[in-house]
Amino acid sequence: MISVAIGLALAAAVVHGTWNVLVKVSGDPLTTFQRGTVLAVLISGVPVAIAWFAIGMPSISVAAIGFAVVSAVFELAYLWLLSAAYGRGELSVVYPIARGSAPLLAVVIGIAVLGERLTALQLAGVALLLGGILAVTLPQTSGRATLPALMTGVAIAAYTAVDRVGVRLTLPWVYAWMLVAVLAVLVTVTLPLAGRLHIRPEGAGERAPSLSQAALIGMFMWSGYLLVLLALYIAPLSVVAPVREVAVVAVAVWGVWKLRERRSAALKIAGASATLVGVALLAI
């Protein structure tokens, strides 16, 4: 089953990297998230309901709903922070920092709170993670994207920990749909507030993608999340999390190559690669 989980996590990495690229070039990340999540819930709602009825309408525990709600709150913070980071920095900078800082935070918590000790390889992984994040941060002219990108990693670590428990309390695809449904409501309700806090630039809605583009992004988000939850359902977090980070290098290369984020390109790719290797070493 581990090989199946790795395959699911690899597929999730591809899907996750793809929708991040699409969101970055959309011109209005937060509105894109809002439209995408709402459309994903509506499009997937009918087949999810049919499947649920077909298997005898199994009960959904209050605990599972509670974990989905808590995870959705962390996901909302994740979307806000990621939108702020993409509005301030390049894809090839923001994505590696956001994805690399999550496992780094887990290490800090493990050492400081749980009294864990790291092996020599894991210490090397920490060093590579720190070096990789520093390498992709240096090419920025202002560094304004660094803090929201790092905080995005905190949100990733938070919702991943919640999901690791919540997904085992009900069927993974039911949990995923509930979570995205709650998230769609939260993003919609808080969108005006995001504008007032300047997380969403004034007049940004005019640059938002069409409904068809938003639907595509939303389905990528939903399916990618479902793939991760399925992987977490059958394998430990220590196996799934590192495999997901394969997208770090691919997205950094895409940003440099296709989006012409050429400033210190070699340093960015090296930093993204170091981040990937660092995450892998932490999982050993």
pLDDT for 5-45, tens place per residue?
Answer: 878 988 998 899 899 989 888 878 889 999 999 999 999 99
- Tell me: pLDDT of 212 over 80: yes
pLDDT tier for residue 206 given thresholds of 50, 70 and 90: low
Reading the block at residue 233, the tokens are 């359902």
Say what the pLDDT of residue 122 is: 82
Highest mean pLDDT: which of 32-41, 105-114, 208-217, 236-245? 32-41
Compute φ and ψ for 259, nearest 5 degrees.
Answer: -95, 5
* pLDDT for res 49: 95
CA–chain centroid gap for 156, Å, is 6
Residue bearing the bigger pLDDT, 240 or 54: 54
pLDDT for position 114 = 61
pLDDT bucket at 157, cuts 50 / 70 / 90:
confident
- For position 79, what pLDDT does the model report? 94
pLDDT tens for 223-251 read 998 998 898 888 777 667 777 777 787 88
Pick the range with the lowest mean pLDDT from 118-122, 140-144, 273-277: 140-144
Lowest mean pLDDT among 19-28, 79-88, 168-177, 262-271: 262-271
Return the minimum-mean-pLDDT range out of 21-35, 123-137, 156-170, 248-262: 248-262
pLDDT in the model for residue 35: 92
Q: What is the mean pLDDT of residues 146-167?
A: 90
pLDDT at res. 129: 83
| pLDDT over 60 at 204, yes or no | no
- Enumerate the domain spans of the chain: 2-282
Is it the case that residue 220 has pLDDT exceeding 60? yes
Portion of the chain with pLDDT greater than 90, in percent? 36
Query: How many residues are given for the chain?
Result: 284
Of the listed ranges 35-49, 66-80, 213-227, 241-255, the least confidently predicted one is: 241-255
